[in-house]
Amino acid sequence: MNGDSNKRAVLETVFLTVISVIFTAVGISVPLFYFVGVFLWPLPAAIIYIKHNAKYSIASIMITAALASTLVHPLSAVEIAVVYGCIGIAIGYSIKNRESAFFTLLLLFAATFISSMMTIKVYSLISGHDIIGDTINSFEQSLNTIKDTYIKYGISKKELDTILKSVYDIEIIKSIIPAILAIYSIIEAFLIYIISNRVFKRLGIDVENVKPFSEFYIPSQLSFAMMAIVILGYIVSSMNYNSSDQYLMNAYLIFSFIFTLDGLAVVSYFLKYRKFPKFIIFIIEAFLIISPLTQIIFYIGLIDYIVNFRRLDVKRIGRNGRL
């Protein structure tokens, strides 16, 4: 019986490893598929972990890296196989051990943040260029092209420099790259969690239902950690240490993003309560994201955390139903 079980585990691992190799090779060869691959690459390792154990999952990652290296650039193949394989193990571990959604997302955030930094490093090594530096230079060139166009129409260079600096300050953009990577990782972790959850359900794997966005709220542990980081940032900034302002700016950006998400969830919650169609809710939320109203949404999220008026954080509700 045990022999049959091991044989089945090996066969399933081989099958999923072949799929993983195909996903990896196609994702590297076809740039458009890369953005789809980000959400598909972790799945084989996760499924193997859930159905069997870490030993088979790690073996699959190693074989995927070795086989994909013969088809595409070895460094890219190893980076994708190992990094996204580890994200898959993180998903598999969380689901197999019935971890909470908060713990799973925290684990995925850490894995995706590390993977983002590794991806930048690997592609910099392959191309021989600093990818972030090249991106900023391209952005500067685009701004210069815009400036030249407006100067031809009679707008003074001084006025343009003042306007563009107030909106697109290159030095500020350079200093907030860690926050940009962190925010990207949060979004990627959310999407990987949602997509993998739906795939696992289709495969008959018992997983916890993903709650709708309208029920998203910030747990006390996360809020305390974020507030402590921002307060520490203000203290360090007041002491005028090197890069203290940069630290504060990055901490505040992440803090603002998380509470803005909470604010959007509050808006979604009450629109849903008023029986608005999903499509209309999506349009309203998309408009709020790109509008100057994001600061108001941030304050709504902050107030929601303090007051808990959706009554979703049950740990903060007493027996009598009061906070």
Give percent of the chain with pLDDT exceeding 70.
81
- pLDDT at residue 321 is higher than 50: no
Please indicate whether residue 262 or residue 135 has the higher confidence score (pLDDT).
262
Q: What is the mean pLDDT of residues 195-213?
A: 83
pLDDT digits (tens, 9 = 90+) for 132-148: 777 777 767 776 776 67
Please indicate whether residue 293 or residue 170 has the higher confidence score (pLDDT).
293
- pLDDT at residue 170 is higher than 70: no
Question: What confidence score (pLDDT) does residue 153 get?
Answer: 67
Q: What is the mean pLDDT of the chain?
A: 79
- H/E element holding 146? helix 131-152
Place of tokens 């709650």: 211
pLDDT digits (tens, 9 = 90+) for 271-292: 888 888 888 888 988 888 888 8
Query: 177-202 vs 42-51: helix axis angle to the nearest 10?
Result: 50
CB atoms within 10 A of CB 1: 5
Confidence label for 322 from pLDDT (cuts 50, 70 and 90) = very low
Question: What confidence score (pLDDT) does residue 3 get?
Answer: 60
Question: What confidence score (pLDDT) does residue 319 get?
Answer: 42
Cα separation, 183 vs 195, whole angstroms: 18
Question: What confidence score (pLDDT) does residue 167 get?
Answer: 56
- pLDDT at residue 59 is higher than 70: yes
pLDDT digits (tens, 9 = 90+) for 83-130: 888 888 888 888 888 888 888 888 888 888 888 887 777 777 766 666
Cα separation, 193 vs 109, whole angstroms: 10
pTM: 0.78
